[in-house]
Amino acid sequence: VHLVESGGGLVQAGGSLRLSCVASGRTSEPYSTGWFRQAPGRKRDFVAAINWSGSLTDYGDFVKGRFSVSRDNAKNTMYLQMNRLKPEDTGVYYCAQIRTWPRDPYAYWGQGTQVTVSS
């Protein structure tokens, strides 16, 4: 499965963004997907994951109710709704297929989408 992220941008603290992750390839087979992010000089962190049916989700501890992951399998798309953004949410956001639920991804990373939160 090939995944492409979009939807990032510059937003003020307290604002919102919705990221999208579009899949292509063997999308007919069930797979879980997740969001990860990497700030400059830091390791890549887990943000959120969702299983194929959408019945299971998992979030990084720092999310604390601010983000919501969803998916539309008819559109081969996963979303990350981010609300009440903070400057520390700044980074490049990546999506990936999950190898072991919920936080272990296949390490095939695309270009990601940049999220910048100004204070």
Give 19-74 pLDDT, tens digit per residue: 999 998 877 788 999 999 999 899 999 999 999 999 999 999 999 899 999 999 99
Strands 45-50 and 33-38: antiparallel
**Residue 13 DSSP symbol:** T
List pLDDT tens digits, range 66-95. Answer: 999 999 999 999 999 999 999 999 999 999
d(CA 43, CA 107): 13
pLDDT at 32: 95
User: Which tokens hold the place of 18?
Assistant: 């919705």
